């Protein structure tokens, strides 16, 4: 009797009690849209895409836009600075 009850229990749908589990799949349209948005997530954006950010920060800091260098990390900034000759 115990084995039969255990088999019946295992056949039933599992219930996940974690907060991060979605019981129902995402709508196909949403999956497609997210896939398009996330297709290049493994690549850092180029610095050229920061024109508006650079403009706003330059106005805020009272400097020229050319003096603002947003970056994705210290390596992205330090390597070019090391390579540039002193003026």
Give the mean model confidence (pLDDT) for residues 66-86: 70
Range ranked top by mean pLDDT from 20-29, 31-40, 71-80: 31-40
Say what the pLDDT of residue 62 is: 94
Whether the predicted pLDDT of 86 surpasses 80: no
User: What's the pLDDT at 60?
Assistant: 93
d(CA 71, CA 44): 9
Distance CA 5, CA 11 (A): 10
| Mean pLDDT across 35-46 | 76
The arithmetic mean of pLDDT across residues 41-66, rounded, is 81
């Amino acid at each position: 009797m115990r084995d039969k009850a255990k088999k019946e229990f295992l056949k039933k749908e599992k219930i996940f009690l974690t907060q991060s589990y979605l019981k129902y799949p995402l709508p196909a349209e949403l999956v497609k849209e997210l896939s398009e948005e996330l297709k290049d997530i493994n690549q850092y954006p180029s610095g050229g895409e920061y024109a508006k950010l650079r403009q706003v920060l330059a106005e805020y800091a009272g400097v020229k836009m050319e003096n603002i260098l947003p970056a994705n990390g210290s390596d992205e900034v330090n390597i070019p600075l090391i390579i540039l000759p002193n003026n």
